[in-house]
Structure 1
Amino acid sequence: MFVGLLLAGAVAFVAPQFAAIAAIAAIVGGLFPDLDVVANHRRTLHFPVYYWLPAGLTGALALAVPTTMTVGLAVFFLVAAVHSLSDLLGGSHELEPWDGTVDRAVYSHYHGRWLGARRWVGYDGSPGDLALAGALAIPILFLFDGVVQPIVIGMLIVSISYALLRRPIAASLKRGLERPERDTPNERGLESINE
């Protein structure tokens, strides 16, 4: 969402009348792909290739006919595309990505397979991830005023909390998923958790 808000800041700089809708669309577009956490995370709503088509079409439409709706849609699809693609830069899609045992960053429907993690940022919730979030948030606080600033501060608080709790949450989930020693989990069960 921070990257999305920076993109929205560029829109706000060029066309200040669309600052509010650009910020809202950036937040929603940044969150939208991760709604698949309740389904098949980083596969169901993540489209690292396919989001670019509606992003390009709505972007062209917004340039030709700039309205609240066209600008909002353009920013939404652009940020959803950036989100899906940027998941490649982090750790893999697994419960404990710091172990690096699975090489699944994001599923590409275009390629029909999982794309490998680049690990430029260790994993979501890593200290590097938090540092990047903080560095991205600072200019956003100057690009927007009003309600966006408290939202950014709230997002930073969530990021800090998540970074502090990421490993303990994973450990708790892992313990909760494990069965007593006499009835150990089967390979398929663990594999479906990692998917």
Structure 2
Amino acid sequence: MIRVVLADDETVIRAGVRMILSADPEIEVVAEAGDGRALVELVRAHRPDVALVDIRMPELDGLAATAEIRRAVPGTAVLIMTTFGKDSYIARALADGAAGFLLKTGDPREFLLGVRAAAEGGAYLSPKVAARVIGELAGGRMARADAARERIEVLTRREREVLGLVGAGMSNAEIAQRLHLVEGSVKTYVSTILGRLGVRNRVQAAVIAHEADLVERG
């Protein structure tokens, strides 16, 4: 019997996934959680074969919970499930030791395939996710984006806003107008951003802004 702990902050989603898993007589949902912290505690208590983890939950998100579970209960495989397919989520989930990545909007049979694969020590990616991973790894974009997001963690929320506008090609005056700041303050922000990112000029900062997905599209 494959024992599963299921975590999602939406009761309806949990019920739906539990129903899908119940179609396989060899899979049993032994516990459910509505937040990441409760999930980790349940995994510690039940030590299931697989933890099915939503990526966005209160208390502790799915990515942080994955890392904690892999440290505390390495025998439990973690499958991330989400409606989102952002490259950063995929890269970080896999880097933190997740055994797979499932899209809630995918074929329900993927949950059964994923749970079985993870329980057997393998890995499973929804076909749409797999195609994206292959494409992004081929171009190196995932690695660059992940590195860029790590670099901007040293910035405050306001500094990230300014960096995003620098990436959009705005001048200090235009940024000041957009954010309702005086131009001198924007100049100070830009100088601080360059120093914290360890770059020499606005062009290098703009590249990081694009790779970290801080620049508004359109």
TM-score (norm 2): 0.25
Higher strand share: 2
Larger radius of gyration, structure 1 or 2? Answer: 2
Higher helix share: 1
Structure number with higher relative contact order (C-alpha < 8 Å, ≥ 6 residues apart): 1
TM-score (norm 1): 0.26
